[in-house]
Structure 1
Amino acid sequence: MKNIFLVALAILCASATGCAQKKVSNAVDSAFKTKFSNATNVSWDKENDHEYEAEFKINGVNYSANFSDTGKWLETEQVITYEELPQSVKQSFMASHKDAKVKGVAKIDTSEGETRYEIEVKQLLSSEELFYDANGKELQDDDSED
Structure 2
Amino acid sequence: MKNSILTCLVLLFSSFAIAQRVSEKDIPNIVKSTFLLSYPDQTNVKWEKEKENYEASFTIGKTDRSMLVDSNGNIIETEEEISVKKLPAKALAYIKQNYKNIKIKEAAIITDAQGIVTFEAQVTSIDLIFDKQGTYIKSIAD
TM-score of the pair, normalised by structure 1: 0.73
Name the structure 1 match of 2:91. 89
How far apart, in 1, do the equivalents of 2:42 and 2:114 lie? 22
Give ranges in structure 2 of 5+ residues lacking alignment.
1-20
Q: 1:20 to 1:74 in 2, by over 3 A?
A: closer
Q: Aligned partner of 1:26: which letter? A: N
Matched residues, number? 120
SS at match of 2:134: coil
Structure 2: distance between partners of 1:40 and 1:59: 13
Q: Distance in 1 between matches of 2:119 and 2:102?
A: 16
Classify 1:64/1:36 alpha carbon distance in 2 versus 1 (closer, same or farther; 3 Å): same
Q: Does 1:140 align with 2:138?
A: yes
> Contact 2:110 / 2:117 at 8 angstroms: preserved in 1?
yes
Distance 1:20-1:70 versus aligned 2 partners, 3 A rule: closer
**Identity over the aligned pairs, expressed in percent?**
30
TM-score for the superposition, normalised by structure 2: 0.75
Q: How do 1:53-68 and structure 2 match up within 5 A?
A: 53-68=55-70
Aligned pair 1:28/2:26, yes or no? Answer: no
Separation (CA, whole Å) in 2 of partners of 1:93 and 1:60? 26
Give the superposition deviation at 1:128.
1.2
In the alignment, residue 133 of structure 1 is paired with which amino acid?
Answer: D
User: 5+ residue gaps in structure 1?
Assistant: 1-18
